[in-house]
Amino acid sequence: MTSTVTTTGPIARTGLAPLPGARGPLSATVLALLWGEDPPPADPGSADPFGDDLHLALHCCYELHYRGFTGVDDDREWDLRLLGMRRSLEERFLAALRAEVAPDDDVAGAVDALLVEPVGPGAEPGVSHHLQRSGEFWQLREYVVHRSIYHLKEADPQAWVIPRLPVAAKAGLVGVEHDEYGAGDPDRTHANLFAAMMRELGLSDGYGHYVDAVPAATLAEVNFMSLCGLRRSLRGALVGQFALVELTSSPGSARLVRGMRRLGCGPAAVRFYDEHVEADAVHEQVVRRGVLAPLLADEPGLAADVVFGIRAAGVLGDRLGAAMLDAWSAGRSSLRVPLPDGPGR
């Protein structure tokens, strides 16, 4: 005799993010829709396209396509009002990005520019330079909190583009993603290595734990990945974003390793960025020859989108880096909710 197990409601799952608090009318509307309420429409037309309200609202819409939220029905992922709201938010964000990024289809030139780090009196030092040379421990912990919004789901936004690529480019991108996912070893996935680093630095490794603490600039950088990954029409831009990360992260990771060792961080903390020094140096060649070259050979019309993805991701990364450095130079936290060992607490 066999028995049948039935359920009468949503299956309880662990590791879900808690719903954040609203930051304005747009995010309040999205949160109400997530709870199944029927709020009045909210118009993103006059919202700051790089502001807290819009980007928290977008973040909440996108998270439905990843792990979801505690207490929110999985079927909200395909709620028509939420999908319509998401599209309006995306259009506002995309229009602002396109206004900041000059159109160009010179992929080789854009890639070559990524491989040259500015030096000399006019060069602006980045966050990794600061943390390597003189950053304080509380600043390192804040940096890790900012990065946790992406790295606790590292490689997931880029995975959306895999079925949308021609075969040769797909094979190259999957090769890089294989490394990001630990080459088959769950303990070596980059998301798990990042979580181990957070624990060693005395931070929570809970998925979505710090969403309320991070500003719009942090959310915008990750939202751009999700936006490009979820829209087939932006597959070229997602490959551009992917190229920017893989071609530029190795030197920055090396600087972070030196900074963490200077600050006395333990091996579990250092391991995450140490892993990226070697891995991303290899990935640079794979992305150039195994992803970009076959993609553009098959779909040359995507060249302008690839450049847009590279440069838009650069704009968003620069905004976040500048926000952190400006706050730290003024002796204040770069987070909306400072950590216990940071200024303001």
Predicted local distance difference test score (pLDDT) of residue 119: 59
Better pLDDT: 281 or 75: 75
Q: pLDDT digit string (tens) for 143-154?
A: 999 999 999 999
Predicted local distance difference test score (pLDDT) of residue 6: 32
Q: Where are the alpha helices (DSSP H) in the chain?
A: 25-34, 52-63, 80-100, 107-114, 127-133, 137-151, 156-159, 167-180, 190-200, 216-230, 235-262, 267-285, 293-298, 303-329
**Tokens representing residue 139 in the block:** 């600043």
| Burial label, 334 (beta-carbon count in 10 A; 0-12, 13-18, 19+) | buried
- Of 4, 15, 335, nearest to 144 (Cα)? 335
Query: What's the pLDDT band for 125 if we cut at 50, 70, 90?
Result: confident
Q: Please give the Cα distance from 291 to 171 (Å, whole number).
A: 8
Q: Please give the Cα distance from 262 to 136 (Å, whole number).
A: 10
HSE-up of residue 207 (Cα within 13 Å, Cβ side): 16
Residue 307 has pLDDT above 60, yes or no: yes
Query: What's the pLDDT band for 7 if we cut at 50, 70, 90?
Result: very low
Q: Please give the Cα distance from 30 to 41 (Å, whole number).
A: 10
Predicted local distance difference test score (pLDDT) of residue 2: 35
Residue 80 has pLDDT above 90, yes or no: yes
Please report, rounded to a whole number, the percentage of residues in the chain having pLDDT higher than 90. 84
Q: What is the arithmetic mean of pLDDT over 94-122?
A: 87
Query: What's the pLDDT band for 1 if we cut at 50, 70, 90?
Result: very low
Q: How many residues does the chain have?
A: 345
CA angle 254, 308, 113 (to 5 degrees): 45
Please report, rounded to a whole number, the percentage of residues in the chain having pLDDT higher than 70. 92
Predicted local distance difference test score (pLDDT) of residue 120: 53
Q: What is the dihedral of CA 285, 288, 293, 299, to 10 degrees?
A: 140
Query: What's the pLDDT band for 115 if we cut at 50, 70, 90?
Result: confident
Q: pLDDT digit string (tens) for 194-232?
A: 999 999 999 999 999 999 999 999 999 999 999 999 999
Domain boundaries, the chain: 25-100, 107-329
- Of 23, 81, 77, nearest to 54 (Cα)? 23
**Tokens representing residue 283 in the block:** 């990935």
CB 199 within 8 A of CB 205: yes
Q: Please give the Cα distance from 197 to 102 (Å, whole number).
A: 38
Question: For the stretch 307-332, what's the b/e string if a residue is b when 16 or more beta carbons lie within 10 angstroms of its beta carbon?
Answer: bbbbbbbbbbbebbbebbbebbeeee
- Of 94, 144, 100, 89, nearest to 259 (Cα)? 144
Query: What's the pLDDT band for 285 if we cut at 50, 70, 90?
Result: confident
Q: What is the arithmetic mean of pLDDT over 304-308?
A: 98
Least confident of 76-80, 174-178, 248-252: 248-252
Query: What's the pLDDT band for 72 if we cut at 50, 70, 90?
Result: very high
Better pLDDT: 11 or 324: 324
Compute CA distances 335 → 109, 154, 180, 210, whole Å: 35, 21, 27, 10
Query: What's the pLDDT band for 188 if we cut at 50, 70, 90?
Result: very high
CB 176 within 8 A of CB 286: yes
The DSSP 8-state label assigned to residue 20 in this structure reads: P
Predicted local distance difference test score (pLDDT) of residue 116: 81
Q: What is the arithmetic mean of pLDDT over 78-100?
A: 97
| Burial label, 96 (beta-carbon count in 10 A; 0-12, 13-18, 19+) | middle
Least confident of 17-31, 70-84, 118-132: 118-132
Q: What is the arithmetic mean of pLDDT over 174-201?
A: 94
Q: Please give the Cα distance from 259 to 317 (Å, whole number).
A: 20
Q: pLDDT digit string (tens) for 262-283?
A: 999 999 899 999 988 876 667 7
- The SS3 assignment for 180 reads helix
Predicted local distance difference test score (pLDDT) of residue 124: 66
Residue 4 has pLDDT above 70, yes or no: no
Mean predicted lDDT score pLDDT of the chain: 92
Q: Please give the Cα distance from 296 to 317 (Å, whole number).
A: 25
Predicted local distance difference test score (pLDDT) of residue 281: 67
- Of 23, 284, 87, nearest to 179 (Cα)? 284
Residue 81 has pLDDT above 70, yes or no: yes
Residue 307's DSSP bridge partners are: none
Domain at 107-329: CATH architecture: Up-down Bundle (1.20)
Predicted local distance difference test score (pLDDT) of residue 123: 57
